[in-house]
Amino acid sequence: MEKMGALFILAFSIAYGIYAFKIPLIFLSQGEALNARTMPYALSIADIVISLLIIILPGYDKDQVTTVRAALSGLDWKRTAWLTGLMLVYSLSMPWVGFVIASIFFMAGGMMILGERNFKVILIASVPLVVVLWFLLTKVLGMYIAPGELYYILGGGAI
Amino acid sequence: MINAPGEAATVATAIDGYPMARQGKPGKALAIAAYSSFSGGTIAVILLMLATVGTDQNSGVQRFTFGSMNLLDGLSFIMLAMATFAITEGFLMVLKRQETTGVFKAENLASINDLKVTRREFRKIAPTIGRSSLLGFFIGLAAPETGNNAASSGSFIPLLTLGIPGSGTTAVMLGALIAYGIEPGPRMFVERPEVFWAVIMSMYLGNVFLLILNLPLISYFARLLAVPRNILIPGIIFFSMIGVYLITFNNFDINAMILIAVIALVLRLFNYPMAPLLLGFILGGLMEDNLRRSLVIYDGSF
């Protein structure tokens, strides 16, 4: 399994090394012993060498799992993918619907994805938590959390 | 080989390694340790790479920003820590369907609330506590909890005197000090004595408060185990995302955190450790700055 990870790291290091060539250099720094590109070059080469060594040298897997399929089977990928998608939706929707609504929907959605079907439990575990947190942050700690665009569309904040 | 771990982190290695050595497989034990360390080293280099994202402090050149304004200041340490530990842990709990919570019923919690230590038990553990306090300071072994707390103070020595974190905990501490514009090292004793002594005092006061808070609150901490995972996991992920969002109020950090968490999840599934990551990220910037400073002093000669 480590070899598979090393392959993943090797790909990352090669991509990093290619992008390191694209770092712009100012005229004076081109002759310097250590310029903006030096460290990325060194790190890229070091990681390529290390990951190649992991791939080439004999390895030891403490879990005795030799294939990727064996290591990744039996895992609940579907729910994890849904949860990741929900996180992304939360992040993208927050500027539009605001912190409170987006957070309540995230908590409720997360619980539903993980198998909670009792609507009362979902409501009790999400709404008070988010409202109390919002109150603590804005009213007690005095932090400014910008309301979403929806607030202004509905006429909030109008003088 | 001889069941004497050199530091707190190698205690776990000794648990597996020593029995293997006794079975006549010392070479295999050492090889496993070497392979594992190699993986840790690889992860550290990856994070050194991430530390180069942002504006180069010396020349002002943008590196790996892909034209995004959000990456000009580099990646946030808190965001990386949350993504690789908290969020990934939440993902793993979902992936492996571990019934890690909700298994503690009322009767289990009642037994957790039992705080009484009998005189006989105290007499039995007192020598170990004394011995481990001393040993833990230097090498951090024996009775785990005593050694643990003593070892964490010991690992502050290289941090405060040389500016080199000796453990993951002190790496986080170094990140916090740098965030406040304080550079740990020999000069810190002279330039910021108030910070130095505050750290020393806070370590001891922290121990006292740990005891005061731990004992009456044990039953409440234990009750966290009774929260069903359906509620706990979204809660962990929600607080991690909000913790990162409230620092910069920038949604980009949440998106980056999701991407890094997915990559960290893949690496964890491939048996790569995440602890060297924090060390690599914090030391990355320092390493480049100091190498550059040394080269300037020695006129560019390696």
Q: In the numeric block, which tokens belong to residue B216? A: 């009456």
A111 vs B231: CB contact, 8 Å cut-off? yes
A8 vs B271: CB contact, 8 Å cut-off? no
CA atoms within 13 A on the CB side of A72: 14
A54 vs B39: CB contact, 8 Å cut-off? yes
The total of other beta-carbon atoms located within 10 Å of residue A62's CB is 12
Euclidean distance between CA atoms B79 and B87, whole angstroms = 10
Residues from chain A that touch B49, judged by Cβ atoms under 8 A, are 13, 16, 40, 43-44, 47
Which of B59, B234, B300 has its CB closest to that of A111? B234
Euclidean distance between CA atoms A138 and B154, whole angstroms = 40
Which of B61, B95, B295 has its CB closest to that of A80? B95
What distance in Å separates residue A140's CA from the closest CA in chain B? 15
Which residue is it, tokens 């081109």?
A: A30
Q: For residue A109, what pLDDT is reported? A: 95
Q: For residue B141, what pLDDT is reported? A: 42
Element (H, E) at B174: helix B168-179
B52 vs A71: CB contact, 8 Å cut-off? no
Q: Render each residue's pLDDT in chain B as its tens digit; 302 residues.
A: 555 555 545 555 655 666 666 666 666 666 656 655 666 666 667 777 887 888 887 777 888 888 888 888 888 888 888 888 889 988 998 988 755 444 445 555 555 555 556 667 666 666 666 665 555 554 444 444 554 555 556 667 777 777 777 666 777 777 777 777 777 777 777 888 888 888 888 878 888 887 787 777 777 777 777 788 888 899 999 999 999 998 888 889 999 999 999 988 988 888 777 777 777 777 777 788 788 888 878 877 76
Which of B31, B48, B94 has its CB closest to that of A60? B31
Q: Which of A8, A17, A18 is nearest to A42 (CA)?
A: A17
Q: For residue A55, what pLDDT is reported? A: 84
Helices (H) and strands (E) in chain B, counts: 14, 2
Q: Which of B270, B279, B274, B240 is nearest to B257 (CA)?
A: B240
Residues from chain A that touch B251, judged by Cβ atoms under 8 A, are 91-92, 94-95
Residues from chain B that touch A12, judged by Cβ atoms under 8 A, are 46
Across the A/B interface, how many CB contacts are shorter than 8 Å? 169
pTM given for the model: 0.71
Q: CA distances (Å), B249 to each of A112, A148, B212, B244, in order?
A: 27, 13, 36, 8
Euclidean distance between CA atoms B217 and B94, whole angstroms = 28
Q: ipTM score of the complex? A: 0.85
Q: For residue B205, what pLDDT is reported? A: 86
Asked if residues B276 and B102 have their Cβ atoms less than 8 Å apart, the reply is no
Q: For residue B139, what pLDDT is reported? A: 46
pLDDT, tens digit, 9 for 90 and up, residues A82-129: 999 999 999 999 999 999 999 999 999 999 999 888 999 999 999 999
What distance in Å separates residue A159's CA from the closest CA in chain B? 25
Average pLDDT, chain A: 85
What distance in Å separates residue A75's CA from the closest CA in chain B? 5
Euclidean distance between CA atoms B91 and A76, whole angstroms = 10
Which of A46, A76, A115 has its CB closest to that of B95? A76
